[in-house]
Structures are given as C-alpha cells and as structure tokens.
Chain A
Amino acid sequence: MTQTTSDTSTATTSWTGQSVPRIEDDRLLKANGEFGDDTPIHGLAYVHFVRSPYAHARITSIDVTGCDEIPGYVGCLLPDEAATLTNPFVELQPEPWSNEDDRCLASGGKVRYAGEPVVAVAGASREAARDAAAAVVIEYEQLDVLVDAKAAVADGAPVLHEAVGGNVGWHGAWDCGDIGFALEHADHVIEVDELHFHRFSATPLENSVITCEYDAGMDVFKFIGGCAMPQFTIFMIGAALGHSAERIHVVSKDFGGSFGVKIGMYVPATAVALLARKYRRPMRWVETRTEHHWMGGHANERTFLDVRMAIQNDGTVLGLEYRCLDDIGAYSRYEPLGGVIWSQVANACYQIKHLKVDYTTVYTNKGPVHPVRGYSRMQHLWVVERMMDIAAHKLGFDPVEFRLTNYIQPDQYPYTTVNGCVYDSGDLPQSLNKVLDLIDYDKMRALQAERRGTGRRIGIGIGSTLDSGTNNFGQARIINAYLPFAGNTEGGLVRMGQDGSIYAVTGGVAFGQGHETTSAQVIADMLGITPGEVFVHRGGDSSLSAQTGFSGSYASQFAVTGIGALINATKKLVDEIKTVGAAMLQAPKDDLVLEGGFVKVASDHERALPFAAIAGTVFFAPGALPDDVADEVNLVGRAVYRAPLALPDVDKKYGNLTLTYATQVHACVVEIDDETGETTLLAYAMVDDCGTPINPMIIEGQVQGATVHGIGAALFENFGYSPEGQLLGGNFYDYHAPTAYDLPTLRYGSVVSPSPFTPIGAKGMGEGGGAPQHTVCAAIQDALGADAGMVLDSHNPPERVLDLVNGQGAERVRVLR
C-alpha cells in the first residue's frame, strides 16, 4: 500500500471535500482561454491532408504537380518520403502481429480505411493548403473491403496487412475458475448466439490541433496542442523520427476534451513535424469534425459470440463464457491493449466465480480505434449486464433482487476477482436503493402497468458499472511479455515563488476535468492557504519536470496519481518552509504550523512569518540563514506518486491490474412508441461512489457528462459504415451527440466508500464505465418483456427498437436449462 497521505498536521481549514467553484472557469467563461488554434505563431503555415476516399485500395500513382499552380503552396509530404524518414510506429503486440507497418501517411502502397491520410500538403494559409490539397491527383486500384469482423476472420478474406499474414491482430484466452463444470451442473443455463457492442466515439468539443515548430539550431521539435498523454506521445514520435526524447517538447494549454481519443495524436503530429523540418517553418494542422470522425479514434467495436451464463435456482450467478471479436479498424495504434484492459473488471459488479473469455483482435477497413471513455471495460461490463438482465427476464427473477443477490457486498471488500484484481471498496446495494428512490421506482412500476397495451410501453432499466482507475501498466505484459512496463507513477511539482506565492504543476493534463481547482484545494489544505492562492499550471508542459513515463490524463487516475504526486511534492515544500521558519523563528520545526499564509509557532501565534518573508530570505538573503539550511532549501517540492501495484502473473493472467474501482449504479425509465420505435427517456438517475470526494460539484459534473455521453451512445451516436467502407456518421448532422433537448433532468446521488489504497481515499471516476448503455438497454428490454425481441446490440435507434417490438433477436436467446 502507498505511504502517501495528505496529513501534514498544518492545515486548519479543509478545502478538500468542498464544492469550490472551478478556478479555471473564470478564464474560460470570459473567453480568455487559449486552445490549440488560438496560439499566435510567426510565419505559421497550415497543413491539409489529402485523404483516401476508398476504404481499401492500392495507390497506383500520386501527382502533386498541380499544387504548383496554387498561390501560397508551400510543399508536401508523400508516403514514400514518410517511409524513408520514419520508422514504423512502435507496436505493442508481439510477432507476427507487430509486423503491421503503421506510419503517419498511408504505408506499404495501400490505404486501409476511408479517410486515411495519403499526402500532407502545406500552404501559407489554411485556404492555400486546402486548395493545393484539392490539386493532388491520386489514382487507386480498389481492393475488396472488410467492414465486418466475422468476415475478416473467415477463410479467404482479403488481408489488410500482408506482413501480419491475416486480419487477426492479437489473440488471448482467459479461463478463470471452471466454467465448464459450472455450465454442466448449474440449475439454469442461458445461451445467446451473438451480442454486438457498437462503434462510437467521444467527440470532444475541440478537435485535434497540432502546431509544430522545428528549431534547426537546437534540433528540437516543439509541439503545441492538446496532448492527453505527453510522455507516450513523445515516445511514439521520438521512436518514429529516430529523435531524442529530450529534443521533443510538448506543450498543452487549454484543451477542449479528449476522453481518451487524443492519445492517438502522435500519428498526424509526426507528419506535421516532418513538414515543419522539411520547410523550416512552423506548421499547424487543425482537424475538421469529419476528419475527427474518420480517424480521431473510435471506441472498440466488439462482437460477443456463443455467450453462456450459469445460474442457480436461488438466483446466484455462477459465471459466464464467451468468445469475442474486437474490431479495431485498420491499425492497432494503442491496441491490442484493449485485449487485457477489459479484464480489470472481469467480475463486473458481481460475485461470479467462473469466467472464460476467448478474445481476438481483428482488423477491418474502418477508422482505427483509440481508448474512449470506459475503454475496453465498458464492452465487457455491457455484455455481463445484458446477460444478467436477460437471465432475470428469462428465468423470472425480480431485476432488483437478482442484482442485490449477486452484487459484491460491502463487507466483502477488498474483493479479489476471478483474475486476481482487487476491488478496493464500494456499497452497491446502497447505491442501487438510492438510485431507485431517485427514479421513484414503485410509482414507475405502477405507471408501467397502467400503460400496458396502449402502444406506449414503459420500461425500467438498471445498469451497474465500474470505473477502474490507476492502471497497472504491468498488465501490458499479458499482451506481450517483453514489454518493459510495470506499475504506474505520476509526477508533481509545487514551489514557492520569490514573493511567497505558490505554483503547482502536474504531469496530468486537464481537458475539462477541473484539475486546477482540485489540485489547488488539496495543496491549499496542506499549506494553510486558500485555493485561490495556489497558481496551478494550465494544461501540461514536458519541460517542467513534473512528468514520469506514465504521465497524462487517461484511465480515471488523476484523483489518485496526480493528486498523490502533488501531495508528496507539497509535503516536501512544507518541510522546507518549516526548515526555514524554524531557523528564522528560532523554534523547533515540529512546533510550527502553516496557517493563513504564515508559518507560525503553534504555541505562540504572535511568533509568525509570512510566506513572503520565507521566500524573500531564501531567494534574496540566503546569507541570513544557517549554512546547512541555505545549502539545502530551494522551496521546490518535486515528487512522484507510485501506485502500489505488483507485476501480474503473465502466464496465468492473474494479478491486480488497477488500484481503484469507482462504482456507478444508474436507473432510467423509458417510454417506447410501438408505431415508430422512438424511445423517450422519462426519468434518469445515477448514483456515484468514487470514494472520498475532493470536489463534489466537479464529480457530479463529470458523472453528468459521462451519462450524457453514454445515453448518446445508447440511442443516437453510431459510427456505421456502408458495405463499401464509407463512414455514415461523418458530422454532427448524421452523428447526433445529445443535447439538453434530448434529455430529462438527470437526478444525481452519491455514496462514499473511501478507498483504502489511495492517499486521501479518493478514486478516479471521470470515465463512468458506460453505465447508460447498460441502463437504457435494460429499460428497453423491460419495456419489451421476456417473450419478445431481445436487446442484443448496445445501440438502439428507433428502427432497431421497432424491430425489437416485432420480436427481433428472440430466436438468438435460449434457456438451455
């Protein structure tokens, strides 16, 4: 367990736990933020990518001579040039799957998805770049297209990556407990042929913007733009360019969302860097919404096959098994990490004892997947929730009692899952009871009965989910035993300026989560000042020494790793302040407290020094301090938080893969119009439990955000593809992200189960675990009943719901016993 705590015995006021208004909002609401396209750069040129209109084709010729006719044309980068100047991006999977040749422009003479960049064109203005790009002539020879994962693994399927030798990108099998015995001896077995978790994304408000300046004198690339995982980005770009990591500088300022997907920014950034170096001119690429939908990163699309669940007469679920095909699109990028990430939540929220999963990563001619809010876990959580729900309906169990029976109980924490993960804390029964109160469950059941037969069905759904946070990167070794990853750390730096002001920076990069505020709250408590007196660095800057290799904002970890690092850093600063104070006040260090911007003698508050005096002495009058103090003190606390995680057993695929498990239980009421299939949300509620809250208002905001995103995925958001491999949701007209008009008032509640494993009992929680998909699917099923259509897809627009009303899917679900 970590040794980090925030207790410095100095604070007299606790800002931690209060709904302090977000410090960053003052800047953002006054339009004083600085987003990717806002930063002025002298001599800036712009980049426009010429992209493939074909999903799978061989490039037969590229003619850029027409560009010369375009005023303002600067130059271009071609695929062969990129192949000469770069190494393939590092792949995480072992051979033969690692033979994939992925570069910043189409590689190997082929395009593999519609929207893939083929030529990067630079112009003196956006318009010049765009017009020059339109003058590029590329000829293609079309190849057969794969848009279905099952077709991709069929004999004779066209192959995307010839060097890999097939369309399988990775394969792994889990066999925990003895599911064969359980299925053979259980009182009941439910079997479902196929379930499908659809493809959608996080659609941040700000698309990717990458500016790159190349300093030829120093041989340094400087990237400016929202970068959620700077050290990973530097690693990938550095390896591709064969460039020293310390000569790559990444700066993020204000940042309009990532939710995981911008982890993939290294791909276009490499092309922008090559152009900046080639033409000795800063370059900027501003992604359009359609470009973002093409390649900005989709969530893993997963098809579950031959799913079986074993259940006892008393409602106890023994376990389940399934095969799955994880459709990652045309390139693996961050994949196949999803192949192990799902297993962080192997048990979902339940006490199952047996689990067997056969997982295959599959290439298709679709946009590449990236981590998306709830990355890889929500797919597994969804299939478990669907099976729980289907089992309850088919076997006649009360949906509430069925879940209460199978939930991990509060007194069972820390709870070890079938694959050795340790769920830290939680109170799922209390969360469920609370959320049912919020939707007025009994009243809604009465309404459901009242509406039966009217053509406007009522359904009530429950979704229980986990948001696992603070990754153990050692789990990557389950994908590839040779990957040099283990554990997780984050860095933080807190310092006092020459006037006594306080500055903090962390390796986490905020993209809307309110890190400036939560960081300031915790630091303020430790220093005895107010959050407003702590200046927290906006975004991130790789030159500020606050980074570790795993730095960044992803995987629901900042409340643990980022805050943990800042706590450790602040402890060092507190110690230095007290060291100086003790010398100046001639008092024992242990008798000092920090309060109101002063260091004071606890027993005599008249003996006090303002921080400004401490700083002024250290910076301007070191000669007034004892030598041993002056030699050691610099009023900078730089520290690392290390998550207490050990390497998993790679062979057995067993071990603790994440440190914390926030829970969310949602419930909703839907009304379905039998004639149109339209689903209307009448009520929606969610109860969050993310341990000790740092700022409840921010937590509620994040829960609301994740809920809206999940509702969007459940009902509106879908990256469908035509048989030719054309994306059908390339803009917000065809890909509807919900707004307030689509939603009822979201009712929020919380339960607090402090984590025993983290510095202040907090847990990461921003991703949300895809609870709305579970909940809305369950509600639609509840409206349909047990002897009608079965909800077997995570996306249910009106046309599908209409089919469900007419019985679709019923034949794919069987009660074997």
Chain B
Amino acid sequence: MNLSGEFTAAATPQALTGLLSDAGRLEGVGGLSSVSVSGADTLDCIFSPVTSLGRIPLRTTITTLSAAPDAAALRVVGVRGHQAVDADIALEFAPADSGTTVRWTADVVVRGGAASVGQRVWSELASRAIGDVLAAAASVA
C-alpha cells in the first residue's frame, strides 16, 4: 500500500538526516527502544507502534538507502513472530518559516497473519505509525 504524509519540524534538514546514524538521540524517541548502530547505514531497534490492541513491539532494521540535504530514502523491515512489515520510505525536506517541511511517502507491505487479518485496518495503522515516529524523531533532532 502507498501512504503519504506531511509535517513541519523545527530542525533543519541537516539535523534531520543526521539522526539516521544517531542511536543515542533516537533512543529518546517515543516508540523506539534498544536502538543500536549495526552497520554503516543500518540501525537496529525495537519499534512499538500504537495499535488498537496496544503497542506491538517489532524487531526493526532501518537502512538508509540514500541521504541528501533535501531528501532521504529508508528501507524499514519490522518482524514479530510470523508478522512482518516492510516499508520503503522516501523523505523530502523543504525549508519552511518555522523549520523544515517533511513530506513522506511510503510503500508498505504487510506480511504474515497481519496481511490477512489486518488488511482493512493496516493502512490507517501504518500511516499513523510512520507519521508519529517520524514527527517524534524530528522533535529530538
């Protein structure tokens, strides 16, 4: 499914892209825990998005595919048991009066039991989860 969203962050684009390798700051982001750098462009963490059943922790790997002053591309793979979520997220940064306008689009594939059981609600859940975590991350940049 293709999702998109937009928000305004107080930080500059440079500060935002710098987050992608800053495990310490990301540790302070709500919904993220056990953040560690596992490779040159890779972070591992537990991402616990909010769902109607409460927070569901996903063992998550975030790979930075590209990062430029005005854009970044991430590949996110989250797994829990026989559920998996893959997301290719494209970020665009544009200067705004109060900081940076962040526009994101995501190609999300939900796999496993959730692909069937949650097919009518995943779009909303994933959209909220991505928007929330990006905004929360931007707030600590």
- Whether, in the assembled complex, B55 has its beta carbon less than 8 Å from a beta carbon of chain A, the answer is no
Complex CA distance for A734 and B112, rounded to whole angstroms:
15
State whether A290 and B81 are in contact (beta carbons under 8 Å apart), knowing that A137-B59, A734-B119 are contacts in the complex.
Answer: no
Q: Find out whether the CB atom of B115 lies under 8 angstroms from the CB atom of A137.
A: no
- Whether, in the assembled complex, A136 has its beta carbon less than 8 Å from a beta carbon of chain B, the answer is yes
Q: List the A residue with the shortest CB-CB distance to B110.
A: A726
- Whether, in the assembled complex, A52 has its beta carbon less than 8 Å from a beta carbon of chain B, the answer is yes
- Whether, in the assembled complex, B116 has its beta carbon less than 8 Å from a beta carbon of chain A, the answer is yes
Chain B's nearest CB lies how many Å from the CB of A500?
55
- Whether, in the assembled complex, A522 has its beta carbon less than 8 Å from a beta carbon of chain B, the answer is no
Chain A's nearest CB lies how many Å from the CB of B21?
22
Chain A's nearest CB lies how many Å from the CB of B109?
5
B residues in contact with A290, CB < 8 Å: 113, 116-117
Q: List the B residue with the shortest CB-CB distance to A722.
A: B115
- Whether, in the assembled complex, A50 has its beta carbon less than 8 Å from a beta carbon of chain B, the answer is yes
Complex CA distance for A114 and B115, rounded to whole angstroms:
10
Contact of A730 among B59, B109, B115 (CB under 8 A): B115
Contact of A114 among B79, B80, B81, B111 (CB under 8 A): B111
Interface size class of B (residues with CB under 8 A): 10 to 19
Q: Find out whether the CB atom of B119 lies under 8 angstroms from the CB atom of A115.
A: no
Q: Find out whether the CB atom of B117 lies under 8 angstroms from the CB atom of A730.
A: yes
B interface footprint on A691-716 (CB within 8 Å = 1, 0 otherwise): 00000000000000000000000000
Chain B's nearest CB lies how many Å from the CB of A17?
46
The secondary-structure label for the interface of chain A is loop
Complex CA distance for A138 and B61, rounded to whole angstroms:
13
- Whether, in the assembled complex, A816 has its beta carbon less than 8 Å from a beta carbon of chain B, the answer is no
Q: Find out whether the CB atom of A54 lies under 8 angstroms from the CB atom of B111.
A: yes
Chain B's nearest CB lies how many Å from the CB of A745?
32
Complex CA distance for A792 and B115, rounded to whole angstroms:
28
Complex CA distance for A114 and B112, rounded to whole angstroms:
6
B residues in contact with A78, CB < 8 Å: none
Residues facing B in A721-762 (CB within 8 A) are 722, 724, 726-731, 733-734
- Whether, in the assembled complex, A199 has its beta carbon less than 8 Å from a beta carbon of chain B, the answer is no
- Whether, in the assembled complex, A647 has its beta carbon less than 8 Å from a beta carbon of chain B, the answer is no
A interface footprint on B102-122 (CB within 8 Å = 1, 0 otherwise): 000000011111011101000
B residues in contact with A722, CB < 8 Å: 115
Q: Find out whether the CB atom of A53 lies under 8 angstroms from the CB atom of B116.
A: no
Chain A's nearest CB lies how many Å from the CB of B17?
27
Chain A's nearest CB lies how many Å from the CB of B118?
10
Q: Find out whether the CB atom of B81 lies under 8 angstroms from the CB atom of A730.
A: no
Q: Find out whether the CB atom of B112 lies under 8 angstroms from the CB atom of A724.
A: no
- Whether, in the assembled complex, B67 has its beta carbon less than 8 Å from a beta carbon of chain A, the answer is no
Contact of A136 among B81, B109, B117 (CB under 8 A): B81
Residues facing A in B92-141 (CB within 8 A) are 109-113, 115-117, 119
Q: Find out whether the CB atom of B81 lies under 8 angstroms from the CB atom of A133.
A: yes
Q: Find out whether the CB atom of B117 lies under 8 angstroms from the CB atom of A137.
A: no
Q: Find out whether the CB atom of A134 lies under 8 angstroms from the CB atom of B81.
A: yes
Contact of A53 among B111, B117, B119 (CB under 8 A): B111
- Whether, in the assembled complex, B84 has its beta carbon less than 8 Å from a beta carbon of chain A, the answer is yes
Q: Find out whether the CB atom of B115 lies under 8 angstroms from the CB atom of A727.
A: yes
Complex CA distance for A729 and B117, rounded to whole angstroms:
8
Q: List the B residue with the shortest CB-CB distance to A49.
A: B82
A residues in contact with B83, CB < 8 Å: 53
Complex CA distance for A730 and B112, rounded to whole angstroms:
9
Q: Find out whether the CB atom of B112 lies under 8 angstroms from the CB atom of A51.
A: yes
Q: Find out whether the CB atom of B82 lies under 8 angstroms from the CB atom of A51.
A: yes
Closest 3 A-B residue pairs measured CB to CB?
A730-B116, A53-B112, A53-B84
Q: List 18 contacting pairs A-B, 8 Å CB cutoff, sorted by A.
A: A50-B81, A51-B82, A53-B79, A53-B82, A53-B84, A53-B112, A54-B84, A54-B111, A114-B112, A115-B82, A136-B81, A726-B109, A726-B112, A727-B116, A728-B115, A728-B116, A734-B116, A734-B117
